[in-house]
Structure 1
Amino acid sequence: MDGQPKEPRDGRRTRWDEHRRRRREELVTAALRAITAKGAGVGMDEVAAAAGTSKTVLYRHFADKEELYLAVADRVNSRILRELGEAVAASASPRQALSGIIAAYVQLVEADPEVYRFVVSHPFLERPLTSDPVQRISATVADETARTITAHLRVGGARDSSADALAHGLVALIRTAADRWISSPDRVPAATLVSDLTHLAWGGLSTVLAPVPEEVP
């Protein structure tokens, strides 16, 4: 009857939804373990084995391989977002913030290169995505970089209209360098790469972060 309060949602349904959410998270964690152990070319059988279950159970929680891939990519994106925020919060200067952003990305690649390769190589995808998670991760890094650049441009009295373009340019530099670095058999230590990339990026960015001089009439 209209006007009467609705019955509360069935508690069993709520508990079931929470159980499914937790189980999906456990399966994503198992997928990450399988990728680390077997490499970026891991198969669904190996993911199921790492989870101690069967492919049938996997497909109860993920409609297809693409959905599992997207869940793994979302986990990686959440991690990089958290680590970027921590790096920027701990920085006392724009140069330190830039170095922290670069370090967070490089450390993500170094900590588990097979997971990184899995995300960027799309091995589970059989058709193009409407939203590429790799671009989403790049956008996450670029957005944090743009906020850092914008804040320091404004403090210095400089124009900030180009901050977004500069940030995406820096992310392209960082990602390309990290991709090349992780595939090199004789790569330099991560700390060296971070230092070199910071020097390279700061060399150009520092001129933009300087206050805009007054125009001579």
Structure 2
Amino acid sequence: MDDDVEPTATPRTAPRDGRDARWERHREERRAALVDATIRAIRRHGAGVGMDDIAAEAGTSKTVIYRHFDDKAGLYRAVAHRIDGRVVGNVGAALGRSSTPHGDTRELVASTVDAYLALVESDTEVYRFVVNRPLVDLPLPDDPVGGTVDQVTDQLTGLLLVSLSAASATDHSRARTWAIALVGSVRAVADDWLATPESDRAPRADVVESLTELAWHGLAPALAGTKGR
């Protein structure tokens, strides 16, 4: 029996709770394996990878892939969510290492920028695939990239609030505005950085320093102004 075809019950079978649970695990494992294969194909063929390349890397057919993901957009979402977990995890780890009396907020900014750019640099084609969405022909009602940005923004907002001397509604609004501005600028710079030929691309450390300086000159006076409130 094809291991990608869900087993059907017969009238004499016992309740299928156990079989359903095993099949669900199988489907999750198969989907994960197909996402792994897609990421390998992206790394091998670049962000413009096609479904034929992905199917060949997975050792299966496009029909089987669509059985698990419905369509190309479903496969794209699954890959984007995998990368989403890495981005949020990497940035979250950096923010956790930096949590932060007043004097360490600059380090928090630098760590956040570096964590994002490090992932971009280490998996460039996969990042391009997620951002440019080559498999998706129409806009998605649920944008996975936007979800990632929101999660990182929420993390950064919380930690910027720690650097403020009060947690009023005004402070929360300011912290979120700063977080959105920082995350947006890092994304924009990352996209431009990747578009630059590698031979002309500035070292990551230089980009991190430039972005940190820009953010810090805006944040430092505002944070200092909260101490006396």
What's the TM-score once normalised by structure 1's chain length?
Answer: 0.89
Are 1:75 and 2:82 an aligned pair?
Answer: yes
Secondary structure of the 1:209 match is helix
Q: Which runs of 5+ in 1 are unaligned?
A: 1-6
Cα distance change of structure 1 residues 19 and 206 upon mapping to structure 2, 3 Å threshold? same
Equivalent in 145, 150, 160 of residue 139 of structure 1: 150
Q: Which amino acid aligns with 1:87?
A: A
Question: For the residues of structure 2 that align with 1:194 and 1:155, how far apart are their CA atoms?
Answer: 29
Are 1:188 and 2:199 an aligned pair?
Answer: no
Large movers: runs of 4+ above 4 Å: 155-158
Question: For the residues of structure 1 that align with 2:156 and 2:24, how far apart are their CA atoms?
Answer: 37
Deviation at 1:196, TM superposition (A): 1.6
Are 1:58 and 2:65 an aligned pair?
Answer: yes
Question: For the residues of structure 2 that align with 1:151 and 1:9, how far apart are their CA atoms?
Answer: 51
Q: Which residue is 1:17 aligned to?
A: 24
Question: For the residues of structure 1 that align with 2:179 and 2:75, how far apart are their CA atoms?
Answer: 30
Coordinate RMSD, CA, aligned: 2.1
Q: Which runs of 5+ in 2 are unaligned?
A: 1-13
Cα distance change of structure 1 residues 26 and 184 upon mapping to structure 2, 3 Å threshold? same
Deviations 1:101-139 (A, max 9, x none): 111110111111111111111111122211211211222
Q: Which residue is 2:117 aligned to?
A: 106
Identity of aligned residues (%): 46
Deviation at 1:160, TM superposition (A): 3.6
- The answer to whether the 8 A contact 2:80-2:130 is kept is yes
- The answer to whether the 8 A contact 1:153-1:160 is kept is no
User: Aligned ranges for residues 140-159 of structure 1 at < 5 Å?
Assistant: 140-154=151-165, 159=171
Question: For the residues of structure 2 that align with 1:56 and 1:203, how far apart are their CA atoms?
Answer: 54
Q: How many aligned residue pairs are there?
A: 209
Question: For the residues of structure 2 that align with 1:154 and 1:24, how far apart are their CA atoms?
Answer: 47
Deviation at 1:156, TM superposition (A): 9.5
Question: For the residues of structure 1 that align with 2:44 and 2:185, how far apart are their CA atoms?
Answer: 29
- The answer to whether the 8 A contact 2:165-2:226 is kept is no
